[in-house]
């Protein structure tokens, strides 16, 4: 593979331990307090060997060294999403129509119509998270009538946050739902006057009805899941991600659903470092599953590409709260602590780390009481790494207790997508500290940042970084005051070194320093100086993981590893890709404004038509799921 033609570096035939890769002429943010800035970095055998300037790296430039000119662009350590459902997300990525980043419902529906026309019989069109109606100019979801008109014969499933799903008539039929189908526990199949399902599913508050319906869609064959996962990892590399902590989750069985990434790791085809968790899937046998796992594998098993990090994000199903902000906070079982304590004790006694899904402070307080009981026996704080995930309403008192027990936190930008719904239910005052980011950091807690993609939030980490810095949702609603936002440097550290600390790898990754992994990206725009509104539009032009060039675009196109074409040929990803890039807001021209205004006008016309025909919209219409008249 040819190197870029650059001046200023002369290969030396006598170079001792020549570098495999040199990136020079860059504005490198190293993340290393000892040397925060540099202009050049050299990588050999997957690790950084020199960080400095041209004079420093000239001695390791050999005849076979690939030299890349960053052209004065910003270079950062590889990003690390500390809570991403990457394993589950990769298995069916090529089957999903992604509305991530799509600015108008009009465009989204045009994509859906086209995809329905090319999707073969027996397959579904599925839009599985990554968007919110607030990102659309029209500020609404499609109606069921629009879905049925766009796809009269092809099943369509649209997952809307944690709160609802929309199915066209073909999908209702394919899912086997009828007037006789009973409602799911904690969920509702909305029915019309005739008793037949309309196509609207509501999580009330449990998302089981949504995910169980999605599970009825066809799966990819095992071999094709490998290609799908590789395409998904490449899409993550597109945004500069080089590591992720997989948070496991429902419908992710071990080892069956882990087989794909295990095979790719054995074949040397992972382009993202993954630290994974194990999540007991069957209520009532969680402790038995955890005990069996502690007897067969241990956290840290694996290698730098794929390694076990512990259990969770649930240890027992009864201890997990729901994150559907369109519904009241769920009341958990009054005695869930009995089995939960057994699970936590098992983890601590066997040296296992764990992470816990906990949205509300009420849940966190109950969990902490169990930990404090075990602390009296000397089990907390211990050497085990343990994490509270999400923690939107955690209190200052609970943060103090987390710190005393040696815990850490991983927060995600779910409020980017659900912020408006949270404000409606709990008020702007409560939303201003949901979660209390700065209070977490001020206590010295390790706070990793992530996306919780793909079923609700988008996997684009720059959307999350924008949320941390600006305090705004993707619908541009300001929810955080300045005192609950972080600097750009702090936000980047939460996506790099903090994630490495959560997996015990902060001695080898998260910063660009000699001896650390050669994980980095050259950005399309300078994160530290770009207009704040443009942060979600940043992409990587050149992503390196362990010295391997796993993604290259723009001036660097063709420098990366070759990838197979997207398969099947009718795949939405083959036609639209993943995240939809749009013009930066600071550079938007009159044409873009005109299109957005047109979409908004069409939305208002439809609202007026519906009001005239059906009366004023119910109060719930402005919530996080759309109501439909039939």
Report how far apart the first and last C-alpha atoms of the chain are (Å, whole number): 59
CATH number at residue 199: 3.10.310.70
> 251 falls in which pLDDT band (50, 70, 90)?
confident
d(CA 21, CA 18): 9
In 401-509, DSSP assigns E strands to 408-412, 447-450
Please indicate, yes or no, if residue 229 is contained in any of the structural domains: no
Question: Residue 625: its pLDDT value, please?
Answer: 31
Q: Are strands 197-203 and 74-77 parallel, antiparallel or unpaired?
A: unpaired
Please indicate, yes or no, if residue 160 is contained in any of the structural domains: yes
Please indicate, yes or no, if residue 104 is contained in any of the structural domains: yes
Average pLDDT over residues 185-208: 94
Mean pLDDT of all residues in the chain?
92
Of 217, 97, 183, nearest to 147 by C-alpha is 97
Please indicate, yes or no, if residue 195 is contained in any of the structural domains: yes
Please indicate, yes or no, if residue 279 is contained in any of the structural domains: no
pLDDT of 596 above 60: no
Question: Residue 29: its pLDDT value, please?
Answer: 98
Q: Comparing 627 with 613, which gets the higher pLDDT?
A: 613
Report the percentage of the chain scoring pLDDT > 90. Answer: 85
For residue range 476-507, what is the model confidence (pLDDT) as tens digits? 999 999 999 999 999 999 999 999 999 999 99
* DSSP notation for 563-590: -PPPSSTT-HHHHH-SS-----GGG--H
Please indicate, yes or no, if residue 159 is contained in any of the structural domains: yes
Average pLDDT over residues 3-16: 73
For residue range 330-342, what is the model confidence (pLDDT) as tens digits? 899 999 999 999 9
Please indicate, yes or no, if residue 115 is contained in any of the structural domains: yes
For residue range 83-133, what is the model confidence (pLDDT) as tens digits? 999 999 999 999 999 999 999 999 999 999 999 999 999 999 999 999 999
pLDDT of 628 above 70: no
> 5 falls in which pLDDT band (50, 70, 90)?
low
Residue 146 structural domain: 93-215
Please indicate, yes or no, if residue 102 is contained in any of the structural domains: yes
Tokens of 309: 């990090």
> 619 falls in which pLDDT band (50, 70, 90)?
very low
The number of domains in the chain is: 1
């Amino acid at each position: 593979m040819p190197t870029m033609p650059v001046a200023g570096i002369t290969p030396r035939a006598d170079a001792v331990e020549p570098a495999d890769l040199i990136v020079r002429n860059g504005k490198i943010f190293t993340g290393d307090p000892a040397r925060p800035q540099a202009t050049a970095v050299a990588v050999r055998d997957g690790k950084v060997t020199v960080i400095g300037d041209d004079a420093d790296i000239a001695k390791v430039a050999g005849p076979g060294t690939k030299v890349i000119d960053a052209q004065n662009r910003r270079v950062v350590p590889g990003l690390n999403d500390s809570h991403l459902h990457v394993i589950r997300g990769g298995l069916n990525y090529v089957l999903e129509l992604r509305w991530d980043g799509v600015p108008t419902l009009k465009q989204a529906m045009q994509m859906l119509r086209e995809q329905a026309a090319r999707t073969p019989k027996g397959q579904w069109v599925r839009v599985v998270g990554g968007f919110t109606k607030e990102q659309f100019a029209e500020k609404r979801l499609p109606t069921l009538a629009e879905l049925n008109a766009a796809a009269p014969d092809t099943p369509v499933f649209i997952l809307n946050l944690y709160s609802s799903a929309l199915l066209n008539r073909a999908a209702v039929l394919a899912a086997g739902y009828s007037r006789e189908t009973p409602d799911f526990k904690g969920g509702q199949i909305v029915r019309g006057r005739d008793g037949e399902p309309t196509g609207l599913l509501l999580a009330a508050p449990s998302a089981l009805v949504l995910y169980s319906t999605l599970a009825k869609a066809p799966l990819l064959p095992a071999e094709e899941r490998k290609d799908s996962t590789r395409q998904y990892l490449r899409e993550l590399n597109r945004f500069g991600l080089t590591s992720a902590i997989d948070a496991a989750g429902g419908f992710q069985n071990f080892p069956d659903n882990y087989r794909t990434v295990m095979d790719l790791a054995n074949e040397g085809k992972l382009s993202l470092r993954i630290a994974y968790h194990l999540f007991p899937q069957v209520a009532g046998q969680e402790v038995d599953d955890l005990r069996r796992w502690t007897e067969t594998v241990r956290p840290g098993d694996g290698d730098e590409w794929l390694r076990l990090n512990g259990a969770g994000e649930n240890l027992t199903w009864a201890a997990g709260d729901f994150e559907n902000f369109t519904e009241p906070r769920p009341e958990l079982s009054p005695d869930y602590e009995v089995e939960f304590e057994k699970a936590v004790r098992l983890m601590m006694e066997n040296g296992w780390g764990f992470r816990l899904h906990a949205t509300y402070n009420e849940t966190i307080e109950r969990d902490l009481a169990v930990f404090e009981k075990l602390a009296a026996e000397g089990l907390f704080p211990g050497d085990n790494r343990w994490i509270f995930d999400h923690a939107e309403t955690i209190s200052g008192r609970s943060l103090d207790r987390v710190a005393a027990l040696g815990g850490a936190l991983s927060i995600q930008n779910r409020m980017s997508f659900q912020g408006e719904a949270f404000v409606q239910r709990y008020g702007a005052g409560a939303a201003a500290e949901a979660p209390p980011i700065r209070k977490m950091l001020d206590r010295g807690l390790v706070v990793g940042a992530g996306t919780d993609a793909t079923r609700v939030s988008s996997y684009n980490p720059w959307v999350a970084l924008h949320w941390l810095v600006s305090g705004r949702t993707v619908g541009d609603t300001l929810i955080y005051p300045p005192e609950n936002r972080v600097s750009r440097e702090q936000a980047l550290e939460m996506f790099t070194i903090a994630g490495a600390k959560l997996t015990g790898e902060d001695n080898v990754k998260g910063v660009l320093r000699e001896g650390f992994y050669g994980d980095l990206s050259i950005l399309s725009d300078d994160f530290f100086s770009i207009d704040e509104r443009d942060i979600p539009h940043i992409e990587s032009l050149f992503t390196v993981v362990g010295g391997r060039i796993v993604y290259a675009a723009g001036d660097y196109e063709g420098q990366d590893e070759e990838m197979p074409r997207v398969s099947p040929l009718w795949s939405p990803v083959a036609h639209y890709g993943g995240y939809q890039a749009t013009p930066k807001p600071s550079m938007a021209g009159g044409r873009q404004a005109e299109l957005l205004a047109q979409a908004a006008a069409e939305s208002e016309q439809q609202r007026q038509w519906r009001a005239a025909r059906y009366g004023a919209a119910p109060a719930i219409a402005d919530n996080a799921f759309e109501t439909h008249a039939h």
